[in-house]
Structure 1
Amino acid sequence: MIGDVLTSSILFEALRKKYPDAELHYLIYTHTFPVVEHNPFIDRILLFDPVVDLKPNGLLPLLKKIKKEKYDLVIDVYAKINTAIISAFSGATKRISYYKKYTSGAYTHTFELLTSPKTSAGLAIENRMLLLTAVAKDFPAELKPKLYLTKEEISSAKALMKNAGIEVDKPVYMIGILGSSSEKTYPLKYMAEILNKIISSVPAAQLLFNYIPSQEKEAKELYNLCSPQTQQHIFFETYGRSLREFMAITAQCDALIGNEGGAVNMAKALNVPTFSIFSPQIKKENWSIYENEADHVSVHLKDYHPEFLTALSRKTLTKKAAQFYEQLKPNLILAKLNTFLQTNSSGKIAELKQIQ
């Protein structure tokens, strides 16, 4: 997934700083390439196309390609059967991953996943940095993922927003209206209430929706659920036509608010404040990266009703996601959201009040 690939890119920065002459390659799914494009710490990107490479006769050419590189070190962050096969076939002297009984034989070093975060970086960061301890003991404890936009991409995004009538001297919020699946998507009727609250708290706010053309139906449904007043603040036709364009537009926003997922991770990597809503089946401690209750804030059903989730498996939570989402009513999170809005919009709000 996009968030996984972006987060794992911190390993390249750490390795590059310690081993400046190393040749560093990254094997990723094709669709995730935009989040590591222009990353200065990666020498070469190998693309994995599941449509081709997972066919019976498709994996062997990839395995041969990997083996031909004669890698000294392989770090498998994905830790699945397919990547275990790739790791083992690579012939690398040192092969590192997380411990799983059915794949452990593919590696020379394995680690048990940490279950409790020790820092504000969160488990997604800490577990990745843990893998590097098999290489050396003096790597930094944590690093922040970063995205690298070009000047042209930034200029193009600014022009697009200006042409759409968006005023950058007023608060601009990117809204993550959908999760990566229906089970990870906050109910649209609730999201509409959230957007109405944003406009009532920050009357000058301008809202952008994060969606792709195939999701226009859901985006339009949310738009129609919003109050007429809120609709006047939504720039429905202004959205990223590509992942890189989405990143460039988001970089100009005051915050990203909405469903937890890849978009939130990208916003964090751009140093854009985030307010994210976790789906019930996701462990918040795994992906609440660098949260500080100020510019990066999140909410989860367990924050308000932990008794609902006690002793339930992720499979059960996923199956009943809609039922549990119904319990995370907007009124539970509005106070926290309002504080976030005031914290991350106060400068522009104060400026507007002075103008008025």
Structure 2
Amino acid sequence: MKILIIQQKRIGDVLLSSILCNSIKTAHPDATVDFMCYPNCKDVLLGNPNIDSILLLPNEIRKSYLSLFKFFFEIRSKKYDILIDVYGKLETNLITLFSGANTKISYYKWYSSLFYNHNLPRLSKDTQTKYGQAIDNRLLLLQPLNLDHNAINPYPKLYVAPKDNEDALILFKNHNVDTNRKIVMFSLLGSEKLKTYPLEYMAEVVEHVSKNKDVTILFNYFPSQIEDAQKIYNLCSPTTQEKIHFDLLADNLASFIAIMNLCDVIIGNDGGAVNMAKALNKPSFTIFSPHVDKNDWATFEDGKQNVSVHLNDFKPELFNKFTDKEIKPNTLHLYTKFTPDLFKDQISVFINQHL
């Protein structure tokens, strides 16, 4: 049996969708399970024993009709029996159409349902889920396979190569990181402004953590975000700045995973960094953007290992003024109401428990 999982989009999406491979391989150890993603996401799949091959769809192929159709027929030549399309956009609709797979599974969308013979409706927004909707919705895609219940594994897992671990330790040594102290990774900035906790507020959170414990602090940000990262650093007190290793950055995704694996906890904006930390079994404290549905992405919440906060938790009356479609355009205004004093006590409990 040959199975292809397709998940385009971002790192966090790809990592969460890897649970499909884990469950299928548990139920069918002899099956061939391949995974298709964009090149920038492949490192979260490396080392996973439940994935036989990683198929990459780079931009240069996507932007050329000739190359894309050639790619379609390459997929067809692999003769997959089952295709699970987690992404479900036009690009993957066409891959599905040309794949030749007998069993084609995706989420229900009226305009693409003809491409699949199993169209599964996502859980409604108000459904209480066991692991978080981002996980539970993915597990729905396994239903047509009728896997044994005991084979279902909802927990994404990352694998750190020995060489990457060694390189991370050398990096820590070069930056004079004291590994005997607890290390806090801050997911400093979101993937966009509307997913980024206000800089002055984030500086308050960094300051609060620094005062609560004698810790080492690492900042996670992209080089293109260095100006905003520097603003947060500059807002911190000199005492806190001494605890921050501002220039200790990963060169690539595999390097970040190895660095995160040496940290004790992660605190900050929702995004791929938090999802990767969870997959490394690191405690997480996540600050959600007002326009993100916490029920979707607050995975494995238990109030201890994984904790998250959302403005709606504290001031639900603010959201009564807006329709669902109006919340996103008003995100920056709502962020101003999401002051750190609302959840500082929760952070104190979190760091006292884990640090």
Q: TM-score when scaled to structure 2?
A: 0.93
* One of 13, 28, 47 as aligned partner of 1:38: 47
Q: Greater CA deviation, 204-213 or 312-321?
A: 312-321
Helix, strand or coil for the counterpart of 2:105? strand
2:97 is matched with 88
Check whether the contact 1:281–1:321 (CA below 8 A) recurs between aligned residues. yes
Provide Cα deviations, 1:185-204, integer angstroms capped at 9, x if missing partner.
001000001011111111x1
* One of 267, 286, 289 as aligned partner of 1:276: 286
The correspondence of residues 41-60 of structure 1 with structure 2, limited to 5 A, is 41-60=50-69
The alpha carbon displacement at 1:69 in A equals 1.3
Seen in structure 2, the aligned counterparts of structure 1 residues 141 and 114 have a Cα distance that, compared at 3 Å, is farther
Seen in structure 2, the aligned counterparts of structure 1 residues 313 and 71 have a Cα distance that, compared at 3 Å, is farther
2:234 is matched with 224
Listed as ranges, the gaps of 5+ residues in structure 1 are: 346-356
The alpha carbon displacement at 1:71 in A equals 1.0
Listed as ranges, the gaps of 5+ residues in structure 2 are: 1-9
The alpha carbon displacement at 1:159 in A equals 2.4
CA distance in 1, matches of 2:332, 2:348: 25
Check whether the contact 2:194–2:332 (CA below 8 A) recurs between aligned residues. yes
CA distance in 2, matches of 1:201, 1:310: 35
Seen in structure 2, the aligned counterparts of structure 1 residues 190 and 151 have a Cα distance that, compared at 3 Å, is same
Q: Greater CA deviation, 215-224 or 257-266?
A: 215-224
2:6 is matched with none
Which amino acid is the alignment partner of residue 168 of structure 1? Answer: T
2:167 is matched with 156
CA distance in 2, matches of 1:239, 1:175: 12
Provide Cα deviations, 1:13-55, integer angstroms capped at 9, x if missing partner.
1111111111111110111011111111111111112343144
1:200 is matched with 211
Seen in structure 2, the aligned counterparts of structure 1 residues 314 and 182 have a Cα distance that, compared at 3 Å, is farther
The alpha carbon displacement at 1:5 in A equals 0.1
Alignment of 1:11 with 2:11, yes or no, is no
* One of 33, 37, 55 as aligned partner of 1:28: 37
1:298 is matched with 308
The alpha carbon displacement at 1:117 in A equals 5.2
Check whether the contact 2:27–2:148 (CA below 8 A) recurs between aligned residues. no
The alpha carbon displacement at 1:315 in A equals 4.6
1:288 is matched with 298
Alignment of 1:100 with 2:113, yes or no, is no
Provide Cα deviations, 1:72-115, integer angstroms capped at 9, x if missing partner.
10001112222122112212101001001111111000111013
The alpha carbon displacement at 1:325 in A equals 0.8
CA distance in 1, matches of 2:346, 2:82: 45
Provide Cα deviations, 1:238-258, integer angstroms capped at 9, x if missing partner.
121211111111111110111
Seen in structure 2, the aligned counterparts of structure 1 residues 7 and 60 have a Cα distance that, compared at 3 Å, is same
Which amino acid is the alignment partner of residue 160 of structure 2? Answer: L
Provide Cα deviations, 1:215-258, integer angstroms capped at 9, x if missing partner.
21121111111122211111111121211111111111110111
The alpha carbon displacement at 1:214 in A equals 1.8
CA distance in 2, matches of 1:167, 1:98: 47
Provide Cα deviations, 1:132-160, integer angstroms capped at 9, x if missing partner.
11011424454200001112211221222
* One of 225, 228, 250 as aligned partner of 1:215: 225
Identical-residue share of aligned pairs (%): 40
CA distance in 1, matches of 2:318, 2:338: 11
The correspondence of residues 230-241 of structure 1 with structure 2, limited to 5 A, is 230-241=240-251
Check whether the contact 1:259–1:277 (CA below 8 A) recurs between aligned residues. yes
Provide Cα deviations, 1:264-306, integer angstroms capped at 9, x if missing partner.
0000000111111111111111111111111211111111112
Check whether the contact 2:130–2:136 (CA below 8 A) recurs between aligned residues. no
Q: Greater CA deviation, 311-320 or 296-305?
A: 311-320
CA distance in 1, matches of 2:61, 2:191: 23
Seen in structure 2, the aligned counterparts of structure 1 residues 184 and 314 have a Cα distance that, compared at 3 Å, is farther
The alpha carbon displacement at 1:317 in A equals 2.5
CA distance in 1, matches of 2:234, 2:60: 37
Check whether the contact 1:295–1:343 (CA below 8 A) recurs between aligned residues. no
Which amino acid is the alignment partner of residue 335 of structure 1? Answer: D
CA distance in 1, matches of 2:85, 2:153: 18
The alpha carbon displacement at 1:211 in A equals 1.4
2:188 is matched with 177
Seen in structure 2, the aligned counterparts of structure 1 residues 312 and 84 have a Cα distance that, compared at 3 Å, is farther
Which amino acid is the alignment partner of residue 169 of structure 1? Answer: N
* One of 178, 184, 191 as aligned partner of 1:167: 178
Check whether the contact 1:179–1:259 (CA below 8 A) recurs between aligned residues. yes
CA distance in 2, matches of 1:23, 1:142: 18
2:350 is matched with 340
CA distance in 1, matches of 2:48, 2:323: 37
Which amino acid is the alignment partner of residue 271 of structure 2? Answer: G
Alignment of 1:75 with 2:84, yes or no, is yes
CA distance in 2, matches of 1:86, 1:308: 43
The alpha carbon displacement at 1:309 in A equals 2.2
* One of 157, 164, 177 as aligned partner of 1:146: 157
Q: Greater CA deviation, 140-149 or 88-97?
A: 140-149
Helix, strand or coil for the counterpart of 2:320? coil
CA distance in 2, matches of 1:92, 1:63: 12
